[in-house]
Structure 1
């Protein structure tokens, strides 16, 4: 079995559901409040584990109640925690409001900021021994870059989810084997709207020109666009009733990583990831909404 290392964020998701978003200064009723394990890094690690991959997680949590929740969740999913517990910083928090099947999120990074380049360097052997490393942007950017540098030096494949959206140096893109932005992140990186197929083609071409080898743009209900060499392909989305999209992208990336490291071709991996994401959005919650491999009928 291939070894997958996720380097990234872990947050306690404080989630509330409501019928619509409030206007500025307005108070409206909500329901179904919950506190659960989340964060893009933890969610992606959970997706890999639940879909049958061997995965370790490099991140940071606080020595508090939320930190214990996250560590318990990692253990429950069989994920090896290779990070740090901090007495100085609180565990990261995500305030999630779910309205009409979509979500709005405010982050307080807390201990996630302690995933520094120095910590990455201390864990070089983990990156060297992994077949691929999966990262996002909820930890310091310099740490993501340092991890990519170490991965490149050891021939470890790099998956990068550029979320939350921000400017990225071409040096990082040049060390990225598989870049997976959603349509908003792709537009932020390129200045090109990806509402149309023509826009997707242009955005993918630009990102490949800046160094990324394979680019997959996830587009929600419109499916995704991806390249095989110079050819841009399109995969339609599964038709489902979306209840909560919180972990849609994270489940997609985890599924994609599992399939590609197992030797699947890119088109089959993308189709599989799309189906996993469709199941995820049909359920409420973050990591808990991601299906196990045995739940899937394909």
Structure 2
């Protein structure tokens, strides 16, 4: 897939503080870790990098702090081929995520928003970037007011809006009215509720290693995921969503778009880390051909 598809991502960018251990600690339990690393992350940045690696031309709207993490996070996005002209540098701390990964590749995550939690008012330049996109991709790790504003701009310009409402919360009607594709996992689907799920034109529910389920106008189906040896599931959902955004904006039909997304998500579990684990477009192409 070429990089002519224009994806705008509005979202969070964090530094992931990743610890590995034999098993996830129970409440009150202390366990010894195996390793520690700092890896650029945040759902917005992860999905932006995943979209760029999946073949999209990606611009990112978000904020980092003026600490030492902020510069590194901006450089990571730029190094992945993401346009960071709309990235703000604000006073204070950048966002972080404390992540623990066990030997079964399961994880727990605690996010501290930092700069992501500030008011992110859209500038005229932001609005122009959104209007010129082939798709707008958003999550909910930043204030929802910014997401509603950007989604409204996109919808008014007939730009599809793909929303990954994570962390899950009640979704206001003015946001749902602007959404084209809603991407949730099974836990998020239960938290958001059937009424909200039914209100969007296209619904995608990710099923982990089992693939994904689609419901759209007059049709529904499931797409299986390729079987891989997973070593870290962190960021798999973001790789799925970023690849789906590119495929959707490129005009692929929903089944073909979900196939690419499922492959991207599966491949991401074979590499440690979040954004850094997203696969390149040619790897997605190869596994799509051999899987479906």
- 1:29 paired with 2:32, answer yes
Matched residue of 1:15: which SS?
strand
Give distance in 1, aligned partners of 2:267 and 2:7: 23
Give distance in 1, aligned partners of 2:266 and 2:171: 29
Among candidates 186, 190, 206, match of residue 187 of structure 1: 190
Give distance in 2, aligned partners of 1:21 and 1:42: 26
Where do residues 278-293 of structure 1 align in structure 2 (5 Å cutoff)?
A: 278-293=266-281
Q: Which residue of 1 aligns with 2:20?
A: 17
- 1:248 paired with 2:236, answer yes
Give distance in 1, aligned partners of 2:270 and 2:19: 17
Q: Which residue of 2 aligns with 1:109?
A: 113
Judge conservation of contact 2:12–2:62 (CA < 8 Å) in 1: yes
Write out per-residue CA displacement over residues 211-247 of structure 1, whole angstroms, 9 at most, x where no aligned residue: x110000011222111231322111222222211111
Q: TM-score, normalised by structure 2?
A: 0.92
Q: Which residue of 2 aligns with 1:133?
A: 136
Write out per-residue CA displacement over residues 3-31 of structure 1, whole angstroms, 9 at most, x where no aligned residue: 11000000000001111112333221112
Matched residue of 2:122: which SS?
helix
Structure 1 runs (4+) greater than 4 angstroms displaced: none
Write out per-residue CA displacement over residues 171-230 of structure 1, whole angstroms, 9 at most, x where no aligned residue: 21121001001111001011xxxxxxxxxxxx4xx44532x1100000112221112313
Q: Which residue of 1 aligns with 2:68?
A: 65
**Over aligned residues, Cα RMSD in angstroms?**
1.5
Q: CA deviation at 1:120?
A: 5.3
Where do residues 115-154 of structure 1 align in structure 2 (5 Å cutoff)?
A: 115-116=119-120, 118-119=121-122, 123-154=126-157
Give distance in 1, aligned partners of 2:88 and 2:112: 18
Give distance in 1, aligned partners of 2:152 and 2:80: 29
Write out per-residue CA displacement over residues 123-154 of structure 1, whole angstroms, 9 at most, x where no aligned residue: 21111111111000000011111111111111
Q: Which residue of 1 aligns with 2:210?
A: 222
Q: Which residue of 2 aligns with 1:234?
A: 222
Q: TM-score, normalised by structure 1?
A: 0.90
Judge conservation of contact 1:6–1:57 (CA < 8 Å) in 2: yes
Give distance in 1, aligned partners of 2:26 and 2:51: 38
